[in-house]
Structure 1
Amino acid sequence: MRSKAELESAIAKGGRAALVINARSRRGRRLYGRARRMLREAGVDVVHVFPVTDPTRLRELFSDVLALEPDLVVVGGGDGTVAEAVGHLAHRDIALGILPLGTTNNFARSLELPMDLPGAVRTLAVGEPSGGKVADVDVGWFESTGDPQGEGPAGDREHIFANMVSLGLSVQVAEKVPHALKRFLGRPAYALTAARLLPGHRAFTARITIDGETRELATHQLNIANGAHYSGQRIARDASPDDRLLAVYRLGDERRLRLASATARHVLTGQWRSLDDDAFLTTGHVEIETDPPMRVDVDGEIRGTTPVSIRLRGNALRVIVPQTFVDT
């Protein structure tokens, strides 16, 4: 593995780069051509472009990407596309660059990347005065019950996640949100879908074990975050994908109205709250059981059911971030 400075130097000197862009994401289809042109004008030498029109092929496509032995893989798309890339690029001597073209872009926000395309492209031009830098950040690793993936030679990588593991109402919302509404409204489509589904959602009991101590709580929504954003909003001012911590927190208790008020509080006050607050449990390893068993949402994809074990892998991913990002 090269040092971060060595990898950054290789990229700045025109190292081999590949572009994977989800042409079916909310903005990817519209901005595909513009993104290619802007990268070229910024001096990012993309040797091969992989436009993705069938997201089910992402996994096999990354085998072709890695065969190029790139120094930089630029991914244009939403959280699902980025999450797939993270699983393939973690623990490798390759930097991940992100063009946030999705609806919520949670992991890109956690990396403090510009949400506009010109700003994101400028960040990728390392070596330039307005360019970014190579940093190493944390990823998560999980193991759930009945996960249909995660077997075979690449099994360990299939368990890596970028931003968050979720249980509860958000799983139903992710499945039920109309694609047309999401394309038209963006993030508010999730809130509207949640409001429609909440009256019929049943609370569950979660048993959370950290360092041998088990806590039991009731809720409609439980999140385990490696990143700093949920639904496009910051969860705490000091949360970061580079803090060596998983943040475990619930939204409300077993009462449905508490979920609504807790979600509103999350949106309004997340940027001022701290991980030291009582609302959060922070750890590097957590075990979760639920009654009844709950489906496990991992970066927007259903991956088995509880019980689920979640661990942190510190500094496992090389990424291009703004110069202002605090790299520890």
Structure 2
Amino acid sequence: MRTKQELGAAIRRERCAALVVNAHSRRGRRLYEGARSRLTAAGFTLLGTYPVDRPDELERSLAEAADLGPDLLVAGGGDGTIGTAARLLAHRDIALGLLPLGTTNNFARTVGIPLDLDAAVAVLTDGKVIDVDLGLVGDMRFTNHVGIGLSADVMLTAPPRLKRVTGRLAYPVTALALLRRHRPLRATVRAEGREHEFVTHQLYVANGGFHAGRPITADANADDRLLVAYPVGGPSRRELLRDTARNAATGHRRTLGDDPFLAVRQLWLETDPPARVEVDGEPYGETPIRIGLDPNALRVMAAADSPDR
């Protein structure tokens, strides 16, 4: 593999790319043509372009695009699309370019990609290649988070049409509908020789720095060799609602040293009763699970001033 400096230089010099857009996502259908024309105007030679209308075709389209041998694979869509692309490109000599066209765009926010399409394309033309960590649950890599409890139930039941119409508001609307009958779970987290127990409706383990479009803490990111585990509220529904609002309002002012965050390299998680698990918004299975890190697994085209460890 080339060094990231060599890969970045090749992208700036050769402008050789492939484009895959999830046209089924909220903004993807509307913005696909704009993305393609902007990349062409910026001097990119597009070896292949793939507007994907069916979710079950996304992985195959990404694989076909990667097999064309581009220096840069540009993926347009939400966190599910970006997560699929990240898994495909892990430890490969291709950089991932991000066009955030989804609902919350957590990974794009984590690596500092602007949500405006013109600004995101400017990063692809003038940025640099950085390495970021990916999380591991079992043998599956993820970009943003693992959710245990209510969020997994929400991801399984949030209507796609509601997501397209209301954006990220679809998730709290669905959560409120489910919460009336949702029961708390007892979660045990074992990490670094210590055991932590929580009774909660919801637990997250994050690799990135954003959740639901808001900062988790001021110092969480995808390049720090750390996972962040944290419950949202306690056993009562009122506590869940209170802490959800608190996290959204104050995440940018909190740090990993604050309660209830656990910043660790890997962990074992079990719940009583067994709980559903979602990984970057996709169903995964049930607890118990082991979660770890794959350091510097993914190369991403980021802004020229982005930090890179």
Q: TM-score range by the shorter chain?
A: over 0.9
Residue 218 (structure 1) aligned with residue 202 (structure 2): no
Cα deviation digits, residues 113-153 of structure 1 (max 9, x gap)? 1001111011100xxxxx2111001001111xxxxxxxxxx
Paired residue for 1:305?
Answer: 286
1:204 has 2:185 as partner: yes
- Say which SS state the counterpart of residue 200 (structure 1) adopts: coil
Q: Which residue of 2 aligns with 1:139?
A: 134
Q: Distance in 2 between matches of 1:62 and 1:40?
A: 19
Once the two structures are overlaid, the 10-residue window that deviates more, 53-62 or 23-32, is 53-62
Counterparts of 1:45 and 1:276, CA distance in 2: 46
Q: Secondary structure at the match of 2:39?
A: helix
1:234 to 215, 225, 241: 215
Moved more, 263-272 or 36-45: 36-45
* Aligned counterparts of 1:217 and 1:237: Cα–Cα separation in 2: 23
Query: What is aligned with 2:68?
Result: 68
TM-score by length of 2: 0.97
Name the CA distance, whole Å, in 2 between partners of 1:223 and 1:210: 15
Instruction: Describe how 1:91-170 pairs up with structure 2 within 5 A.
Output: 91-125=91-125, 131-143=126-138, 156=139, 159-170=140-151
Tell whether the 8 Å contact from 2:22 to 2:58 is kept in structure 1 after alignment: no
Distance 1:235 1:28 in 2: 26
- Correspondence list, 1:280-319, <5 A: 280-319=261-300
Q: Secondary structure at the match of 1:175?
A: helix
Kept after mapping to 1: 8 A contact 2:22/2:53: yes
In the TM superposition, what is the alpha-carbon distance from 1:205 to its structure 2 partner? 0.5
Q: Secondary structure of the residue that 2:156 maps to in structure 1?
A: helix
Q: Deviations over 1:212-241 (max 9, x none)?
A: 322111100100000111111110001110
Unaligned 5+ segments in structure 1 are: 126-130, 144-155
Amino acid aligned to 2:271:
T
CA–CA separation in structure 1 for the residues paired with 2:42 and 2:17: 13
Of the three residues 179, 186, 190, the one matched with 2:171 is 190
Structure 1 segments of 4+ aligned residues over 3 angstroms from their partners: none
1:249 is aligned to 2:242: no
1:173 to 154, 158, 165: 154
Distance in 1, matches of 2:189 and 2:142, equals 20
The Cα of 1:198 is off from its aligned counterpart by 1.1
- Say what the alpha-carbon RMSD is for the aligned residues: 1.1
Q: Take 1:277 and 1:302, find their aligned partners in 2: how far apart are those partners?
A: 30
Q: Which amino acid aligns with 1:287?
A: W
Q: Is the 8 A contact 2:153 2:276 kept in 1?
A: no
Report if the CA contact (8 A) 1:107-1:162 is conserved: yes
Counterpart residue identity of residue 144, structure 2? N
Report how far residue 15 of structure 1 moved.
4.3
Identity value in percent: 50
**Structure 2: gaps of 5 or more residues:** none
Name the residue aligned to 2:82.
Answer: 82
3-state SS, counterpart of residue 279 of structure 1: coil
1:151 aligned partner: none
**Matched residue, 1:36:** 36
Kept in 1, the 8 Å contact 2:106–2:213? The answer is: yes
Q: How many residues align?
A: 309
Q: Distance in 2 between matches of 1:172 and 1:120?
A: 32
- Which piece of structure 1 moves more, 237-246 or 183-192? 183-192
Q: How far apart in 1 are the matches of 2:157 and 2:164?
A: 14
What is the CA distance between 1:70 and its match in structure 2?
1.6
For residue 266 of structure 1, what is the aligned residue in structure 2?
Answer: 247
The aligned residue for residue 22 of structure 2 is: 22
Contact 1:44–1:124 (Cα < 8 Å) also in 2: no
Q: Give the Cα–Cα distance (whole angstroms) in 2 for the partners of residues 187 and 73 of structure 1.
A: 26
Per-residue deviation at 1:61?
Answer: 2.5
